């Protein structure tokens, strides 16, 4: 297991109306959101993002990732759960010559990707990555693998490790207190597995994941 590292520290805080989400949440909303289609990305806020548009907020994150992993032109990077490719776009711009790719389960997101990443995004799931062993210099996965059941999370971590041993970074939903857990459960739409950090570390150990990690925590 690697280190707890906050590589998203420069990302602006997202405004969340927890009361509205809790009141609007239903089994049907969860079902539609979990399709990761137009409603999840660009429909009303109660179904997901409420409009997922590029605004440059990932640019400092991309620079931090490049610096942290010491990436350079010719290196290959994979973003697991790339959505419309915002981070892929910013990684490409921040380090000319860096070879960056993404993968996501959402056909809608890939068909509405940023023009700069056309041809670099693949349709697929985090628990079965269609790339050869050791084929990337770094593998990133931000707020994605928790959308799988626990066994799928283990497989996804093994896949990240297989593609870039010891050179992974992921961020997942978690909480530090029962109060934070209650807030999260009111808000969450798509996460199928979540736990306290201790529980996640057990998953990391089971998967023999040696990359780094951090938590997304509602407060």
Residue 122 belongs to what domain range?
Answer: 53-210
Task: Establish if 33 belongs to a structural domain.
Answer: no
9: in domain: no
Would you say residue 89 lies in a domain?
Answer: yes
Q: Distance between CA atoms of 118 and 218, rounded to whole angstroms? A: 33
Residue 218 falls inside a structural domain: no
Q: Is 3 a member of any domain? A: no
Residue-wise pLDDT for 184-218, tens only, equals 999 999 999 999 999 999 999 999 999 999 999 98
Task: For the chain, give the percent of residues with pLDDT over 70.
Answer: 100
For the stretch 113-137, pLDDT in tens is 999 999 999 999 999 999 999 999 9
pTM (2 d.p.): 0.94
Tell me: pLDDT of 91 over 90. yes
Q: For residue 7, with 0-12 CB atoms within 10 Å meaning exposed, 13-18 middle and 19 or more buried, which class applies? A: buried
Taking residues 82-94, what's their average pLDDT? 98
Which of 18-27, 44-53, 203-212 holds the top average pLDDT? 203-212
Residue 154 lies in a domain: yes
User: Pseudo-torsion of CA 32, 81, 67, 138, nearest 10°?
Assistant: 160
Let me know if 55 is exposed, middle or buried by CB neighbors in 10 A (0-12, 13-18, 19+).
exposed
CATH number for the domain spanning 75: value is: 3.40.50.150
Neighbours of 9 (CB within 10 A): 10
Task: Answer whether residue 14 shows pLDDT above 80.
Answer: no
Does residue 46 sit within a domain?
no
According to the model, what pLDDT value does residue 65 have?
Answer: 98
Query: Does 1 fall in a domain?
Result: no
- Total domains in the chain come to 1
């Amino acid at each position: 297991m690697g280190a707890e590292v906050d590589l998203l520290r420069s990302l602006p805080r997202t405004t969340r109306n927890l009361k509205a989400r809790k009141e609007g949440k239903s089994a049907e909303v969860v079902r539609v959101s979990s399709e990761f289609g137009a409603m999840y990305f660009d429909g009303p806020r109660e179904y997901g993002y409420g409009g997922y548009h590029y605004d440059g907020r990932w640019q400092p994150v991309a620079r931090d990732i490049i610096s942290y992993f010491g990436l350079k032109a010719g290196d290959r990077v994979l973003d697991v759960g790339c959505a419309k490719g915002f981070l892929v776009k910013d990684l490409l711009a921040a380090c000319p010559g860096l070879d960056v790719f993404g993968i996501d389960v959402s056909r809608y997101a890939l068909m509405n990707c940023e023009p700069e990443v056309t041809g670099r995004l693949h349709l697929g799931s985090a628990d079965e990555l269609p790339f050869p062993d050791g084929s990337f210099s770094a593998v990133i996965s931000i707020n994605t693998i928790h959308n799988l059941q626990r066994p799928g999370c283990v497989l996804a971590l093994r896949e990240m490790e297989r593609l870039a041993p010891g050179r992974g970074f992921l961020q997942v939903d978690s909480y530090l207190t029962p109060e934070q857990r209650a807030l999260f459960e009111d808000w969450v739409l798509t996460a199928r597995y979540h736990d306290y950090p201790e529980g996640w570390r057990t998953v990391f150990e089971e998967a023999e994941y040696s990359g780094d990690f951090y938590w997304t925590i509602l407060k």
